Amino acid sequence: MKCVVTGGAGFIGSHLADALVERGHEVHIIDNLHSGKKEHVHKDAVLHIIDIRDLEKIRKVFKDLGAVKCVFHLATLPRVPFSIEHPIETNAVNVDGALNMLVASKDAGAEKFVYSASSSAYGDQNTLPLTEDMRVNPKSPYGLQKYIGELYCKIFYEVYGLPTVSLRYFNVYGPRYNPEGDYALVIGKFIKQKRQGKPLTITGDGSQTRDFTHVSDVVQANILAMESDKVGKGDVINIGGGSNTSINALASLIGGPVQYIEARLESKDTLADIKKAKELLGWEPKMQFEEGIRTLLRNTA
Ligand SMILES: NC(=O)c1ccc[n+]([C@@H]2O[C@H](COP(=O)([O-])OP(=O)(O)OC[C@H]3O[C@@H](n4cnc5c(N)ncnc54)[C@H](O)[C@@H]3O)[C@@H](O)[C@H]2O)c1
């Protein structure tokens, strides 16, 4: 079966592409290598170095491919602070780019479109765990843009009949995690600081909690979403570890001195309700958080 993975040279997309190749699929990656790396692309996957803002080039890939089983859309400018500084640039990739992928997939008659959505759509809520039927409350252009992508997926099912499903990931971690730059996510940042013998910098008081999800579990959810007949009507499904950890607890698990720095605009707590994923996909996270972190520490030592 032919599959398209946008963002397939990036962190999550490259793991997904590997898993699809290993299952015998013909995998085509669309990535402009903005942050993705060629060395993360499986040798048996085909890399198309294309920007998702360029609809004509995307159409050309689909035309050459013929029948496509599934399009996994992951390409994004993914950082919250970056989106606050660059709302127009991030909108062009995160919203217009997603729309281009939906249009090209619909026109090519793709059998399914699996969209990588984000728990950042929830923003702050009064109750936990976060359930898919809660009213969204994004706190940043990124959160809003990712949510607009979900709405487009729903509309593309309802108006054009393209089977779509949105998977809302909660803080994904694992190998190939990007530890560089000011916008690095917390686990990568801590591991890098520890390696450099620097204190782990905690924003605010560190009591904020996150539901961390291992990348192998996210990959499995994508594959089940492609295969399951129960999803495709624009469904929105949480993909999270189902338990949360404070940033202070994460720092102790990684170990070493800490330094508290200024709080930033971010959600206080996240915790996924994962009942829907169990019901519709038969999915459950397999990787225990402590084990996932220990493995990551061992492999990045
Ligand atoms: N990592 C997380 O914790 C997390 C949480 C929730 C949702 N997500 C979603 O998962 C998806 C993958 O995230 P990731 O962490 O692997 O990010 P990543 O930055 O590692 O990967 C994104 C990929 O998209 C590519 N890209 C960026 N702009 C592009 C463009 N204009 N055209 C083509 N390719 C482009 C990059 O080169 C990169 O390879 C994203 O949709 C993100 O919103 C991630």
Residue 54 tokens read as 């360029």
- 71, 180, 78, 75: which is closest to 120 by C-alpha? 78
How far is 92 from 233, CA to CA, in rounded Å? 25
Give pLDDT, residue 268: 85
Buried b (16+ CB within 10 A) or exposed e, 29-62: bbbbeebbeeebbbeebbbbebbbeebebbeebb
Let me know if the fold of 2-172+213-242+272-281 is the same as that of 173-210+244-270+287-300.
Answer: no
Our answer on whether the CB atom of 41 is closer than 6 Å to any ligand 1 atom is no
How much is the pLDDT for 140?
A: 93
Higher pLDDT, 275 or 186: 275
In this prediction, residue 79 has a pLDDT band, given cuts at 50, 70 and 90, of: confident
Query: Is residue 203 predicted with pLDDT exceeding 80?
Result: yes
Q: Is the CB of 140 under 6 A from ligand 1?
A: no
Query: What pLDDT is attached to residue 184?
Result: 65
What rounded mean pLDDT belongs to the chain? 95
Nearest protein Cα to ligand 1, atom 1: 172
Catalytic residue among 122, 142, 152, 169: 142
Q: Give residue 183's pLDDT band: very low, low, confident or very high (50, 70, 90).
A: low
Residues pairing with 112 in the sheet: 70
Which residue has 């779509």 as its token pair? 164
Give whole-number Cα distances, 286 to 4, 25, 31, 116, 281, in Å: 26, 24, 29, 19, 14
How many angstroms separate the alpha carbon of residue 200 from the centre of ligand 1?
Answer: 25
Ligand 1 pocket residue status of 171, Cβ below 6 Å: yes
Q: What is the pLDDT of residues 89-105, one digit of tens each?
A: 999 999 999 999 999 99
Provide the pLDDT for residue 300.
76
Q: What is the pLDDT of residues 148-162, one digit of tens each?
A: 999 999 999 999 999
DSSP of 187-224, one letter per residue? HHHHHHHHHTTPPEEEETTS--EE--EEHHHHHHHHHH
Tell which wins on pLDDT, 222 or 178: 222
122 is catalytic: no
pLDDT reported for residue 226? 98
| The pLDDT value given to residue 153 | 98
- Whether 68 and 111 have beta carbons less than 8 Å apart is answered as yes
Q: How far apart are CA 15 and CA 37, in angstroms?
A: 12
Q: Is the CB of 76 under 6 A from ligand 1?
A: yes
Is residue 37 scored above 70 in pLDDT? yes
pLDDT bucket at 34, cuts 50 / 70 / 90: very high
Separation of alpha carbons 93 and 100, rounded Å? 10
The atom of ligand 1 lying closest to the CA of 73 is 41
**Mean pLDDT, residues 67-94:** 95
172 forms beta bridges with 213
User: How much distance in Å is there from the Cα of 108 to the middle of ligand 1?
Assistant: 23
Position 205 scores a pLDDT of 95
The half-sphere exposure of 40 on its side-chain side, counting CA atoms within 13 A, is 21
Nearest protein Cα to ligand 1, atom 41: 74
Name the DSSP letter for residue 286.
-
77 lines ligand 1 (CB under 6 A): yes
CATH of 173-210+244-270+287-300, one of 3.40.640.10, 3.30.70.270, 3.90.25.10, 3.30.450.80: 3.90.25.10
Query: CA 124: distance to chain centroid?
Result: 19
Q: What is the pLDDT of residues 218-259, one digit of tens each?
A: 999 999 999 999 999 999 999 999 999 999 999 999 999 999
**Is ligand 1 within 6 A of the CB of residue 149?**
no
Tell me the CATH number for domain 2-172+213-242+272-281.
3.40.50.720
Angle, helices 186-195 vs 289-300, to 10°: value is 40
Find out whether the beta carbon of 220 lies less than 6 Å from any atom of ligand 1.
no
**pTM score of the predicted model:** 0.96
Greatest alpha-carbon span in the chain: 55
Average pLDDT of 181-196? Answer: 81
Give the position, in ligand 1's atom list, of the atom nearest the Cα of 53. 31
Q: What's the rounded mean pLDDT across residues 42-63?
A: 98
Per-residue confidence at 266, pLDDT binned at 50, 70, 90? confident
268 contact partners, CB below 8 Å, separation of at least 6: 124, 208, 209
Cα distance between residue 94 and residue 52, in whole Å: 9
Give the start-to-end residue ranges of the domains of the chain: 2-172+213-242+272-281, 173-210+244-270+287-300
Of all residues in the chain, the percent with pLDDT exceeding 90 is 89
154 CA from centroid of ligand 1 (Å): 21
Using the predicted structure, report yes or no on whether residue 39 has a pLDDT greater than 70.
Answer: yes
In this prediction, residues 193-202 reach a mean pLDDT of 94
What is the spatial distance between Cα 294 and Cα 291, in angstroms, rounded to a whole number? 5
Query: Ligand 1 center to residue 148 CA distance, Å?
Result: 16
Which pLDDT score, from 0 to 100, does residue 301 have? 62
Is the previous residue joined to 175 through a cis bond, with omega within 30 degrees of 0? no
CA of 73 to the centre of ligand 1 (A): 9
Residue 8 has pLDDT above 80, yes or no: yes
Token pair in block for residue 252: 């102790």
